[in-house]
């Protein structure tokens, strides 16, 4: 029959695509984001044009590769946001979830956060102008903003405030996490607590240091 045939074809090509993605992932995790299409094709046991037939573009491949991980990460963050406890518990759980993710798979994290796209000549594909990096950060910011808008009573400008906070808090998590991942100056628990402290206003509450000109 025909639909069955088509179905088989579809699943077959999707399976193939999946295989290629796995090969690409292996190479990218081994060689970093600057892995060449040749290398990826070789790892998959084929040659370049097939990759281009499947993904059209290097950034297409990378986007497909990234989407899976971003989706997974965002799902775990959403789950952490719904964890039991009071608000601070939830925030800390979310920070923990994020840091745990980047800690256990730093290579994936580096790939997602620092894709280092090189549009080179044309610049037609998707990316509008200079928008070439870190869509993960944006998506996390938007997601958190949504959750905040849903759950908190922020007055007339609520939606705007929620989005600003979403992006801001995500950025705090990102930069602190990136730095922490490189230097490992303390335990994850400590880091989470210190970041939550900032969000709970300790920066505004703590005393000036004796003898300083004040801050």
Subset of residues 59 to 88 that bind DNA, contact rule: CB under 7 A: 59
Measured distance CA(89)–CA(98) in Å, rounded: 14
Mark 126-145 with x for binding to a second copy (rule: CB under 8 A) and - for no binding.
----xxxx---xx--x----
32: left (phi over 0), alpha (psi -120 to 50) or beta: left
- Exactly one of 15, 30, 87, 184 binds a second copy (CB under 8 A); that residue is 87
In whole angstroms, the minimum distance from the beta carbon of 7 to a second copy comes to 41
129 binds DNA (CB under 7 A): no
- Alpha-carbon torsion 190, 73, 29, 63, what sign? negative
Cβ neighbours for 46, distance < 8 A, ≥ 6 positions apart: 20
CA separation for the pair 44, 37 (Å, rounded): 11
Give which of 63, 102, 96 is closest to 79, Cα–Cα. Answer: 96
Closer residue to DNA (CB): 63 or 93? 63
State which of residues 29, 46, 181, 199 lies at the interface with DNA (CB under 7 A).
Answer: 46
Residue 153 · residue 72 · CB < 8 Å: no
Applying CB under 7 A, among 7, 9, 106, 198 the residue interacting with DNA is 9
Residue 107 binding DNA, by CB under 7 A: no
Quick one: what does residue 138 bind among a second copy, DNA, none, with the CB cut-off 5 to 8 Å set by partner type?
a second copy
What is the binding site for DNA (CB under 7 A)?
1-2, 5, 9, 12-13, 16, 35-39, 41, 45-50, 52-54, 56-59, 118, 120-121
């Amino acid at each position: 029959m025909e639909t069955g045939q088509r179905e088989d074809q579809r699943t077959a090509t999707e399976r193939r695509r999946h295989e290629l993605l796995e090969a690409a992932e292996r190479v990218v995790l081994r060689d970093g984001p600057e892995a060449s299409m040749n290398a990826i094709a070789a790892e998959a046991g084929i040659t370049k044009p097939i990759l281009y037939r499947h993904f059209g573009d290097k950034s297409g491949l990378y986007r497909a590769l990234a989407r899976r991980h971003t989706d997974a990460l965002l799902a775990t963050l959403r789950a952490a946001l719904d964890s039991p406890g009071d608000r601070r518990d939830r925030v800390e759980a979310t920070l923990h979830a994020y840091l745990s993710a980047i800690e256990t798979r730093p290579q994936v994290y580096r790939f997602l956060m620092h894709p280092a796209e090189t549009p080179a000549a044309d610049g037609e594909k998707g990316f509008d102008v200079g928008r070439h990096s870190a869509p993960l950060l944006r998506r996390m910011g938007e997601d958190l903003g949504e959750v905040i808008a849903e759950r908190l009573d922020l007055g007339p400008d609520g939606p705007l405030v929620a989005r600003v906070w979403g992006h801001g808090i995500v950025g705090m998590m990102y930069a602190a996490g990136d730095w922490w991942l490189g230097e490992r100056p303390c335990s994850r628990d400590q880091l989470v607590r210190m970041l939550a402290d900032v969000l709970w206003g300790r920066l505004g509450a703590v005393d000036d240091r004796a003898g300083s000109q004040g801050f």
